[in-house]
C-alpha cells in the first residue's frame, strides 16, 4: 500500500474490521489508527506494510504525494 491519507479507511492485516487513519509519519513509515467499530480501539505505530485499503474506499490521494494530509512528527 502507498502512503495512506489522514481519515482514509484501511484494513489491518491480522485484524477484523475497518480502521481510520488518524496519524501519518512518513519518515518512520507508520500510521496511527482508530477502529471504526464500537469502542474506538487505537493502534499506534502501525507499519505501512501491515495495511490494506478498505474495499469501499477509493485509492489514497497521498499517492500523488500531495501535502494535504496532516502528518505527525
CA gap 7, 52 in Å, rounded? 14
User: Where does the pLDDT of residue 68 fall: very low under 50, low under 70, confident under 90, or very high at 90 and above?
Assistant: very low
DSSP 45: E
What's the N-to-C CA distance of the chain in angstroms? 21
Q: What is the mean pLDDT of residues 38-61?
A: 82
pLDDT in tens, 7-49: 999 999 988 899 999 999 999 999 999 999 888 889 999 999 9
Cell output for 71 = 502528518
pLDDT of residue 72: 52
Domain ranges of the chain: 9-55
Q: Please tell me the pTM assigned to this model.
A: 0.72
Q: What is the mean pLDDT of residues 54-58?
A: 69
9-55: CATH topology? SH3 type barrels. (2.30.30)
Amino acid at each position: 500500500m502507498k502512503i495512506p491519507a489522514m481519515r482514509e479507511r484501511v484494513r489491518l492485516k491480522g485484524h477484523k474490521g475497518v480502521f481510520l487513519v488518524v496519524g501519518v509519519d512518513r519518515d518512520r513509515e507508520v500510521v496511527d489508527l482508530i477502529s471504526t467499530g464500537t469502542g474506538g480501539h487505537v493502534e499506534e505505530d502501525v507499519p505501512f506494510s501491515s495495511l490494506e485499503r478498505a474495499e469501499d474506499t477509493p485509492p489514497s490521494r497521498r499517492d500523488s504525494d500531495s501535502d494535504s494530509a496532516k502528518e505527525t512528527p
